[in-house]
A and B are shown apart, each in its own frame.
Chain A
């Protein structure tokens, strides 16, 4: 249960940064945090108490596998999610770098030209 709570908290903390922080880097960090939280949540959803990792490297795991390993699918999904998170962060950082190079500031208040 603590896994759920902490991962949801992580998501909320990330979102808090996105909602409140005025520095672009902090917002990006918030997004990353949020991703992490989500990943943790997914992983903890796949967890089954008292089971081992879904790697069948011993013979005894070969039989009656489903009662011995945790759910492998969330883990597979998380793998994808992580990579996507990395990709988004990379693109975000590149955009932030460009933004910084144009205006020499990272204050989000300076980036409000498009409105109404």
Chain B
């Protein structure tokens, strides 16, 4: 145990000493400054460790002057204070190091004094047990802040400092008045004493007003909306290091003291006050940041928002009706939020210090400047936006679960804010990752790196805390695999090694998860994931590709999180893995060309995931089991996330570019397997929630329409798409629409169709995307009009693609037909005939783009620039062959898959097994019809070969001619470009369906985004930048608080 007074005393002494040394040997000041901070940090850390290990049982009480509490001043350092002290000095240390490396402004001794005393003031605020002493420390902090904010001596900094000073003076006046009135009312200044008196029944008619006066003062310092204009100005105008310290440390002390004060003064309306102001600030700030173009101000809005969330959590803590278990959850959430926000925000602000400009566009290209920058930035943004696996994510999870006990609207508020946060942070991320050029950034990156490493290091702690509170268990094997996946990053010097390691890891994962490969739904999907990932990983053979070093780790994380997802037994676990999967895939997509697509993907994923979380919070039990009499909203909320991943209309707007512009090596996984996780999730929702829905049939019907409209519209859009991968993207989404339709049928046959299609879609779409990757790798473009005639250069790929396309189109002898047959049979059996019509039409439209794929890429004229193109690389070719086999074999023997599916459905007692019989002549027999796959295959192959032989025997002399030897009205074609029909292939058809392909969804979503952005823009205008106005806000809001909550 270290006496906290030592921290304060020694720091003060050092400050005075620095003052002396500065006068004589300015260079030596650092020799006092840094050791002091280190000492402070270590001392606090030792205390914290003491508390955590239990060697310090109860809070440390320091009686200054030896007087017992009410008489003398005392410091009261408990677990929270010790933790906060550690945090403050850790952040201060980081900031000091950072500033020192950049060079303190001269005279440096003075700035060191200010810096030291700011940290000390913040620590003192949290340590003190006396109200007046609190005021003194508030003033120390404030004055040090004024000085530090102004320290860069830029105009903006001075302006911000002045505003802060005016507002801060008013707030401290409130605090001072409140404290003195409090003394007058209670006769004491000691917090514990007053708390004891109030808890003991002391009351006074003005006590409420007095407490509110103090709280209002503190709320000003806590930057609640709308009295936080000054704070935003500081974030924007002041030196980023100072801001890091203020936002990362000082404000947290105010937060702690706010909580302490509110709980000592214990008025019933405090929790409402906190909820309203915290929630309002949180939501409004996150929202106002949408259109912010200044990076620092954007971070400022975020900080304010996070504080709002903290205050809201504080409100929950203060609430008398919160059950004890929820209280523990909120406490854990608060700890994690503080930790998360302090480090991520310091990291971000210190990174901002390294970027030249303040505007968002000045950040363009910084991600490619240095790996350290990239790592720190990504980590910090992820954690500050509350994404897994960082503490913020667990905090949000805990907070939501606790708030759910309180009110669903609170959950909605938290999640809405979180979504808004994702929107602008990933807009930031998107702007930052734009640009090919490397931006000029400073190299003062150690401090942000350390901060982000802290965040990474805090992951296990956060997980443990959340797991304890939520009784959440994640499959250990999967966690090990996820950890190992991240280790692959360390092999970043060689892609080949990473590739080999990934293959090994997937094999190891398969070995590890082998016991779970049972004939049930999880086992079914697990098998798909593991086998699929292994095959698709093979095709990512790096060769001479320009892969990012984090490609393989992220790839593996996606794979194993999917494995964890399907093995989940609780909704929490499902959600956690879902989020991990989403965000790892976001990173992968962001590695591609479509940064904006990645942003949209991020936003919609987050929206879906948060909706899902909202749904989970409404569930009575976290276990994935039947839910008694759920409401339709619950079902909708739960399935929304899955629908987003399946890109169901109208949530599809991300899909085209995210698929089309993600790295070519990742797209097969994204389409072939990852989109199936949405299928898995929806299946769970259907099985456990929708099944008990009173309006089940109409819900299902609605989803059925959603599925079939997805299939229809995406197919239609695919027809007019001129980019190979985007075309395949649309096609993929359309196919998943069929799967959703099958699920929505909720009949054994429908599910059989859905599951069959799930597997089969992996085969052909995986194959097509792998082939596309190979083609793009060779040809260098995925723009269809630039290809053509590649059959001459890559016959194997053509053959593979041909079969895949036939399967995709669902034409009989190959495997694709089974899915269609089952689906239509199921549809007609169920009597969803209108849906059946649309589904039929959609699959007819699929022929259009099927032909387009084959023609525009492989047939027609070989373009001049592609004359030297070679066949795809050998690993890709191998994968093509591997994926080819099932297409043919399943075409002849669909029972190879149908039988396992029947067994899986046998486990799903809610559905039962499909009513299918198998006979020798009729093949598969349903209630409606029959289909003999083997016969068709044999007949087709036999007849074809017979005809071929006959032809070869009887035909005229066949001469293979050159590609431009065509009947061209007697003319000689000049170049292949003139002859190739590759652009606008369906322009005539487009004229017919123009009204159907109007991008309504995109327009609507963009309209919503723009409208909200415009509202945010308007709302932000309340921060006029005018000092008088800010002061008026402070007084007005304080009065409002007094008026509303005094009762």
Partners in one complex: yes
Specify which chain B residues have a CB less than 8 angstroms from the CB of A11 in the assembled complex. 173
Interface residues of B, dominant DSSP: helix
Main secondary structure of the interface of A (DSSP, over half): helix
Is A15 an interface position by the 8 A CB rule?
Answer: yes
Interface size on B, residues (CB 8 A): 45
- Give Cα distance in the complex from A101 to B364, angstroms: 35
Per the bound structure, the CA–CA distance linking A20 and B1027 in Å amounts to: 10
CB <8 Å contact, A115 and B1025:
yes
Q: How many angstroms between the C-alpha atoms of A73 and B146 in the bound complex?
A: 29
Residue among A74, A95, A96, A103 facing the most chain B CB atoms (10 A cut-off) = A95
Nearest Cβ on chain B to A26's Cβ, whole angstroms: 11
Taking CB atoms and an 8 Å cut-off, the chain A residues in 59-108 that contact chain B are 73-74, 77, 80-81, 84, 87-88, 91-92, 95-96, 98-99, 102-103, 108
B147 contacts A111, CB within 8 Å? no
Question: Residue-by-residue, is B552-580 near A (CB-CB < 8 Å gives 1, otherwise 0)?
Answer: 00000000000000000000000000000
A45-B1026 in contact given A84-B136, A114-B156 (Cβ < 8 Å): no
A19 within 8 Å of B (CB atoms): yes
Choose among A19, A27, A95, A115 the residue that contacts B1032 (Cβ–Cβ < 8 A): A19
Docked pose: A20 CA to B184 CA in angstroms: 32
Which residue of A34, A91, A109, A112 contacts B146 across the interface (Cβ within 8 Å)?
A: A91
Cα A9 to Cα B367 with chains together (Å): 57
Residue of B nearest to A77 (CB): B132
B132, B229, B1028: the one contacting A18 at CB < 8 Å is: B1028
Residue of B142, B1021, B1028 with most chain A CB atoms under a 10 A cut-off: B1028
Assuming the contacts A24-B162, A45-B180, A116-B1025, asked whether A34 and B169 have C-beta atoms less than 8 A apart, the reply is yes
Kindly state whether residue B753 has any CB partner on chain A within 8 Å. Answer: no
Q: How far is the CB of B1017 from chain A (nearest CB, A)?
A: 8
Q: Does B143 contact A112, Cβ atoms closer than 8 Å?
A: no
Given A108-B1026, A114-B236, do A73 and B139 touch, yes or no (CB 8 Å)? no
Chain A CB within 8 A of B1031 CB: yes
Nearest CB of chain B from residue A57's CB, rounded to whole Å:
23
Nearest-neighbour CB distance to chain A for B456, whole angstroms, equals 34
- Is there contact, CB below 8 Å, between A92 and B165? yes
A91 touches B165 (CB 8 A): yes
Given contacts A84-B139, A112-B1024, A113-B1025, contact A95 B180 (CB under 8 A): no
Question: Given A111-B159, A111-B162, A114-B156, does the pair A91, B177 have CB atoms closer than 8 Å?
Answer: no
Partner of B158, one of A20, A74, A87, A98: A98
| CB pair A116 B1023 closer than 8 Å | yes
Q: Chain B residues with Cβ under 8 A from A21's Cβ? A: 1028
A19 to B170, CA, bound (A): 11
Whether B150 is near chain A, meaning CB under 8 Å from some CB there, is yes
Contact A19 B176 (CB under 8 A): no
Q: Which residues of B contact A103 (CB under 8 A)?
A: 155
B1020 proximal to A (CB < 8 A): yes
Q: Is B232 an interface residue (CB 8 A)?
A: yes
Name the residue in A21, A92, A111 with the highest tally of chain B Cβ atoms < 10 Å from its Cβ: A111
Q: Are B161 and A95 in contact (CB under 8 A)?
A: yes
CA distance A55 to B724 in the complex (A): 93
Q: Are B173 and A80 neighbours in the complex by a CB distance under 8 Å? A: no
12 A-B pairs with CB atoms under 8 Å apart are A35-B169, A38-B177, A45-B180, A73-B189, A95-B150, A95-B161, A95-B162, A99-B159, A99-B162, A103-B155, A114-B232, A116-B1023
Supply 9 further A-B pairs (C-beta < 8 A) apart from A15-B1031, A21-B1028, A74-B180.
Answer: A27-B1027, A35-B173, A41-B180, A77-B132, A80-B136, A92-B162, A103-B155, A108-B1027, A111-B1025
Residues of B within 8 A of A (CB): 132, 136, 139, 142-143, 146-147, 150, 153, 155-156, 158-163, 165-166, 169-170, 173, 176-177, 180-181, 183-184, 189, 229, 232-233, 236-237, 1020-1021, 1023-1028, 1031-1032, 1035
